A and B are shown apart, each in its own frame.
Chain A
Amino acid sequence: MRQALTAGLLVAACLQSAAVAGDWRGEVSAEMRQFFASPVDPVQHDRFLSVSGEIEFHDEWDDGRHSLTVRPFARVDQHDEQRTHADLREAVWIYHNDGLEIRAGVDKVFWGVTEVYHLVDIINQTDLVENPDGEQKLGQPMLKMSRESEFGTFDLYLLPWFRERLFPGAEGRLRTQPRVAEELSSFTSDRGERHVDLAARWSKNLGDWDLGVAHFRGTGRAPRLLPGIDASGLPVLKPRYEIIHQTSIDLQGAVESWLWKFEGLRRSDSLDEFFAATGGFEYTLYGFGEGNSDIGILAEGMWDERGDSATTPFNHDAFVGVRWVANDVDGTELLAGVVADWDNGSRFYNVEASRRIGNDVKVGIQARAWDRVDATDALYPLRRDDYVELKLTKFF
């Protein structure tokens, strides 16, 4: 929170110097999550109301060569004190000129191509209290240099400050049992969260294919969770952050109606060294049933050499799903699928749909369910957390 305040002051200073001439935009969301089974831990709740909002300021000068973007975010949750949080998602100055790009500040970077499991994505920490899908990220302080040439794009990242993962609080659902105590986290590096992480990435478009190769050296974003006791003597899990080396590859190709996707990596830390991969395809039937809508069939596999001792539930799993895009005026979309562990049979179902109402309101629904979850599976703590989320967002 202290960091957020410092960052906020910095933002205010930046805004003042930019003379507040740029564009402002924002959004507010109201959300309800309803869980259907009684919780594993009686302190957890069944229904959560929540509101969130973000504002974005953007300005450009020198014919767009320089820009400044600032985007703070905040959420208030009815029960989960951890989910009530604020974060500076972006506060970044960008300079670009003729294939050279420099970014300095707090930014968000996504690497990867697959639909379900974002294996190689590593620059930003996951904001796990926002959504268990791991797609929401915390702003990452960075200095990035990027050079585009005929030999591809080279990116260099200097990441001077580490952000710890946010985990749901004691009263929240979709959490481990027992809860993760962020206050008890520890690091293998003496420098802790001040360890300077480095990353490099090369990517190139090869006609129908896009290839990326990257290396990251620094504090791993996914901690090990070790058993411990909190201040009031209750059992908790303590995050332990390791220094890791990760080399990764990502590849996506578009061949007629097929999209092919692959991500693979090798990661090592003081205790472990392993390979992991995920990949698959999306096949789209355009103008399905003589109409305007598209139907996509998705299939992906996930594999982790560590097997049952992996820190991810996606260790020996397969996903099949279907995407329906109506191509209508309201932008109606639906994605439904199931991830099944081929080793222990655990299943995870996911349905998400959204559409616009008018020009500046969007309504979304997400439903998630866990079935036949094996006690050895990393999803086991979520076995009673089937839920539906309704979300209404107003843009302005």
Chain B
Amino acid sequence: MRIEGWLLAATIAFATSAVLAESDVDKGLAIAQEADRRDTGFHDFRAELTMLLRNRQGEESSRVMRSQSIEVDGDGDRTLIVFDEPRDVQGTALLTYSHKSGDDDQWLYLPALKRVKRIASSNKSGPFMGSEFAYEDLASQEIEKYGYRYVRDEEFDNQPAFVIERDPVDENSGYRRQLVWIDKAEYRPLKIEFYDRKDSLLKTLLFKSYRQYLGRYWRAEEMFMENHQTGKSTLLTWKTYEFQVGLSDADFTKNSLKRAK
């Protein structure tokens, strides 16, 4: 009887914590879904971006690119990035078909050889152009790519924010988990902490200078990524955002990749 009582108490306690955990999972997912809902429907945009890479010694190097994206019904976005600097990769272009589940498809265009090369799809954690941004950091952030959990409410930079944890579904991700600060007013990411496979803090990404486009879509003008393990950092600056410029699927094909300049 006594043992049964203990068992019962333990079962109730376990069930309660499971329910709590479940509600944290639901809440985390709901926050992510709301953020995604508010950022859906822009159809297409293009922008110019620069990256300023800085190492521990303070030496700097820059990258200049142009990017355009289009939303795809029921699937991830398509993105075409063309490089302007450094000069030796000028005209090199990267086409990505991101998918809600499964690996993204990627093609790289090498202008010197006029050759389109497929990129192995498991390349997630590799540095993008030698920067502190990994391919997966810049990829289209689909809901299905992570598991979510609400962690706590916390003020960040004088803004009330949710802190949610998201765990990458893909086993090729370079991260065990990420902590994301999302402001309660507009559901914009303010900060992301990236934890490596050993669960040590690897990088922090700060979103700065948000501007709103089409009266709805918020974009950070600056994204500052700091690697705590190497002391390197990358400042990504987005310029000349233009939404709904009339791009179509035909602007995101291998032929359009070969036309990229």
Contact = CB atoms under 8 A, between A and B. Distances in A.
9 contacts: A67-B261, A108-B114, A110-B114, A148-B250, A205-B254, A208-B105, A287-B125, A360-B87, A396-B87
B122 A360 contact: no
B17 interface: no
A98 interface: yes
Interface string A143-177: 00010100001000000000000000000000000
Interface of B: 53, 55, 61-62, 85-90, 103, 105-106, 113-115, 118-127, 130, 172, 174, 248, 250, 253-256, 259, 261
Contact of B255 (A67, A69, A148, A284): A148
A256 B105 CA distance: 11
Contacts of B261: 23, 58, 60, 67, 69
Given A148-B255, A329-B53, A98 B248 contact: yes
A329 B90 contact: no
A359 interface: yes
Nearest to A112: B115
A24 B198 CA distance: 48
Contacts of A329: 53, 55, 61, 130
Contacts of A135: 113
A359 B255 CA distance: 29
B255 A356 contact: no
Contacts of A395: 86-88, 90
A108 B237 CA distance: 35
A85 interface: no
A282 interface: yes
Given A60-B261, A287-B125, A331-B130, A359 B86 contact: yes
Contacts, number: 112
A256 B122 contact: yes
B255 A146 contact: yes
B85 A257 contact: no
B253 A208 contact: no
B253 A153 contact: yes
B192 to A, nearest CB: 20
A307 to B, nearest CB: 29
User: What bracket does the count of chain A residues touching chain B fall in?
Assistant: 35 or more
A23 to B, nearest CB: 8
A359 B62 contact: yes
B103 to A, nearest CB: 7
A350 B85 CA distance: 29
Given A99-B250, A395-B90, A258 B120 contact: yes
A258 B85 CA distance: 29
Contacts of B127: 292, 327
A58 B123 CA distance: 33
B155 to A, nearest CB: 35
Pick from B53, B250, B254, B261 the residue with the most CB of A within 10 Å. B261
Nearest to B174: A287
A208 B122 CA distance: 12
A286 B87 CA distance: 26
B122 A252 contact: no
A94 B259 CA distance: 8
Contacts of A207: 105
B126 A253 contact: no
Given A208-B105, A286-B125, 7 more contacts: A23-B261, A148-B255, A208-B121, A210-B254, A254-B120, A256-B103, A294-B123
A98 B249 CA distance: 8
Nearest to B97: A205
Nearest to A123: B114
A286 B105 contact: no
A91 B174 CA distance: 44
Given A257-B120, A284-B123, A360-B88, A96 B259 contact: yes
A305 interface: no
B120 A284 contact: yes
A268 B128 CA distance: 45
A354 to B, nearest CB: 8
A278 interface: no
Contact of B120 (A58, A98, A256): A256
A33 to B, nearest CB: 19
A67 B259 CA distance: 9
Interface in A274-325: 282, 284, 286-287, 292, 294
A46 interface: no
Nearest to B55: A329
A346 interface: no
Given A135-B113, A393-B88, A148 B105 contact: no
Interface string A376-388: 0000000000000
Contact of B250 (A98, A203, A255): A98
A99 B103 CA distance: 26
A153 B113 contact: no
Interface in A13-35: 23, 25, 27
A81 interface: no
Contacts of A108: 114
A286 B123 contact: yes
A120 to B, nearest CB: 13
B130 A328 contact: yes
Contacts of B124: 286
Nearest to A155: B255
A330 interface: yes
B90 to A, nearest CB: 7
Contacts of A146: 255
Contact of B118 (A67, A259, A327, A328): A259
